[in-house]
Amino acid sequence: MSKVLLTGFSPFAGESINPSELLVKQFSHKKILNRLVLPVSYEQSFALVKSETQRHHFSDIIMLGQAGGRSKVCPERFSVNLLDSTLPDADQKVFQESKIVESGPEAYRTAFNLADWEIQAKKKSLPLSVSNSAGTYVCNYLAYQVAHHYSHLGIRSLFVHLPYLPEQTLNKQAETPSLEISQMELVLNFIFEQI
């Protein structure tokens, strides 16, 4: 049976909540062995995951993060060996046009069959849409580091981006996409049934 580490991030970029943090705290599934809420920090996020994997044996690491502007839950097909953002992390660090691992491959692809998931989710009318890029900020950094350090050990990993919650869009531009947390839970439960 799968033994999963589930991670999410604390609020960032002026937000007071982060749907990934809320889901990590409240989502329940028998496959979850442990859970972590991570700071939006390049250095600290992976250090905490690394420490946790030294204490427990996980078969899978599922990472959640917020991606404002998306309307559906988005499993990410690739993490890329690139940091490129003007947004500082929690430690006020900014990286542009930088490699995550100097000698590492350009990208890692998740071991999960996301195309099949998307077909199944559509049949169930679940708001899931496969994305090909985890971006170039802390989410991608964490996803790449996890894949780089653990895929050769047979530990599968996946990054999943979440839309804003409706309450996060109240002071944003009209028509900013959002999704109720209950819908995110349904998709996350579907994902856990696939692993």
d(Cα 168, Cα 156) in Å, to the nearest integer?
31
CATH of the domain at 169: 3.40.630.20
- The model carries a pTM of 0.96
d(Cα 51, Cα 48) in Å, to the nearest integer?
5
* Ranges of H-type helices in 19-113: 19-26, 42-55
Among this protein's residues, is 76 annotated catalytic? yes
* Structural domains counted in the chain: 1
Q: What residues form DSSP beta bridges with 83?
A: 98
d(Cα 10, Cα 7) in Å, to the nearest integer?
10
Q: Which residues contact 7 (CB under 8 A, 6 or more apart)?
A: 24, 35, 36, 37, 38, 49, 61, 62, 63, 64, 142
Write out pLDDT tens, residues 86-131: 999 999 999 999 999 999 999 999 999 999 999 999 999 999 999 9
Among this protein's residues, is 167 annotated catalytic? no
pLDDT along the chain (195 residues), means of 10: 94 92 96 97 98 96 96 98 96 97 97 98 98 96 98 97 95 92 98 96
pLDDT at 171: 86
The residue segments making up the domain with residue 139 are 4-194
Given the residues 76, 97, 118, 180, select the one marked as catalytic. 76
Residue 42's nearest CA partner among 149, 139, 133 is 139
Given the residues 139, 148, 149, 167, select the one marked as catalytic. 139
Among this protein's residues, is 139 annotated catalytic? yes
pLDDT at 1: 75
Given the residues 21, 74, 148, 161, select the one marked as catalytic. 161
